Copies of this chain bind each other. A is one copy, B any other.
Amino acid sequence: MGTEIDNKLHSKDIKPTAMRQLVLQVLTEQKTAISLPELERKFEKADKATLYRTLKTFEKHKLIHSIDDGSGTVKYALCQDTCECQPEDLHVHFLCAKCNQTFCLNDFPIPQINLPSSFSLESVNMVVKGVCSNCMI
């Protein structure tokens, strides 16, 4: 069933190599964002640099977005179909302090903020830290 994977890659102008298919497969199955070191562990066999470049390629082509949640490692998650990685597509991210998993809160746009005119605004990163439902029990 690589068809959907291939379609997705094709729709973003990314050549569907074996490596890329596999990485996209993993990203698609993920419910939370994943970091490069985590990805490495999922592919005992693959090379770090290749995975790194695969993620960079995906990001450049707006198939995924990167998330700096302050945990020390940048994480990546699939963009939504409608996403163009523009400011209006930005959403809040949630980092669980217990399990260290990071969730895209796609339904929570980042609140507007009116800075003094001496600052021109380009983008906003908003990360909420707390405990996720799995860890709350």
Residues of A within 8 A of B (CB): 68, 70, 92, 94, 97, 103, 105, 108, 111, 113, 115, 118-133, 136
Contact = CB atoms under 8 A, between A and B. Distances in A.
Mostly helix, strand, loop or mixed at chain A's interface? strand
Contact of A70 (B68, B103, B113, B122): B68
Given A124-B128, A125-B127, A133-B118, A92 B113 contact: yes
Contact of A122 (B111, B115, B118, B131): B131
B132 A118 contact: yes
* Copies of this protein in the complex: 2
B131 A120 contact: yes
A112 to B, nearest CB: 8
